[in-house]
Structure 1
Amino acid sequence: MTTIAIIGAGSGLGAAVARRFGVEGFTVALIARHQGRVDALAAELLAEGISAHGFVADVRDPASITRTLEQVAETLGPIEVLQYSPLPQKDFMRPVLETTPADLVGPIEFSSTDPSPPCTRSSPACVSSALTAAPSSSSTADPP
């Protein structure tokens, strides 16, 4: 069975991705902070003939993501596709013309840093680690 895990699943992009992959035969793991919301979305998808299940995790808590991805893999089988698209906290969002460089520190840290070492295996724990890993500072391209 092929599984997609959607972290930050909601009624917009997450639901659209779930439908697209679901009609192709993927089992869908919907992951968000509120069990009721992912269960409601899973029920909606199930009514459309898509196998979907709701799981709870908080993207601000790496241990929570790790536990949930492990639970998804145990329940639905290996995760072959992962979508990571949680909404940022409201205090991260500002009008563009009012945004300062200091305003970007929190969102960038939220999206791109992880104090753990790089992962070498394809396991749920490694996937969750990779979600928050900082991009490599090395580049294969020569500088201009």
Structure 2
Amino acid sequence: MSDAERGGAIITGAGPGVSGSVARLLAQQGHAVGLLGVDRGTVEAVADEIRAAGGTAHVALADLTDAVAARAAVAGLGERVGPVDVLHFNPSAFREKDPLELEPHELLEDVLLGVGSLLTVVQAARPFLREGSRVTVTGSMAADRPWHRAASLGVQKAGVRNLVHSIDATLRDDGIRAVSVTVRGTLSDDGPFTPARVAAAILAAVDQDGAVGDDWRTEVAYEG
């Protein structure tokens, strides 16, 4: 894609870890980046890094579980950076409770953030997506091997992976594809599971070596 054709990117659940690394890599590729998060200091820090490196970053603040505010924030970023080539979804809720401690309403609260808000994000961004656009999601081995002490996280990661399959099937006829990247390891400051390396795997999944049609995979595992 030429610079003249290059669109922007929106990162939802933006922060200093994987999502921040994804944002920096996309900015290095020449995409204007829209960052959506809930904490101004955290999101602005990522934006400042991008700008200091010569990139373009815009910031919006919203709680993704507030559908009205989140839709407005995504639409506002789309208007500033669109068309949107990459829409990345990163948030999840970590609550250290096992199934005997976890209350049903707490599970639903966590699923609203880690799964349900993906619907809000995709629906709000749809007017800015075009043929060739990609929806990416940070997945986790917790979908298959949940830690019982954080029972809701496994439910979120399994649910969001499942939802990605449906999003892809809905958008594929318009040339828009979706993929979740299942990170089969624990994030760390060094080794194969640093945020930067996981982010690189997510961006590799955006292209999948040029895969199209039935060759496209809606789940890609990053084994490190």
Tell me the TM-score range normalised by the shorter chain.
Answer: 0.5 to 0.7
Corresponding residue for residue 53 of structure 2: 48
Q: Which of 116, 123, 127 pairs up with 2:127?
A: 123
Contact 2:12 2:36 in 1 (8 A): yes
Unaligned runs of 5+ residues in structure 1 are 125-130, 137-144
Name the SS for the 2:126 alignment partner: coil
| More RCO (CA 8 Å, sep 6+) | 1
Q: Which of 58, 70, 76 pairs up with 1:71?
A: 76
> Is 1:100–2:99 an aligned residue pair?
yes
- Structure 1 stretches of 4+ with a deviation exceeding 6 A read 131-134
Corresponding residue for residue 128 of structure 1: none
Alpha-carbon distance, 1:101 to partner: 7.0
Name the aligned partner's letter for residue 95 of structure 2: M
Corresponding residue for residue 190 of structure 2: none
Q: Percent identity?
A: 26
Deviation string for 1:58-81 (max 9, x for gaps)?
111011111011111222222221
Q: How far apart in 1 are the matches of 2:89 and 2:69?
A: 14
Contact 1:38 1:53 in 2 (8 A): no
User: What RMSD in Å do the two structures reach over aligned CA positions?
Assistant: 3.2
Q: How far apart in 1 are the matches of 2:47 and 2:116?
A: 31
**Aligned length in residues:** 121
Contact 2:15 2:37 in 1 (8 A): yes
Name the aligned partner's letter for residue 11 of structure 1: P
Q: Which of 88, 99, 102 pairs up with 1:83?
A: 88
Change (3 A) 1:29 1:93: same
Q: How far apart in 2 are the matches of 1:21 and 1:70?
A: 19
Change (3 A) 1:80 1:101: farther
TM-score when normalising by structure 2: 0.46
Name the aligned partner's letter for residue 44 of structure 1: E
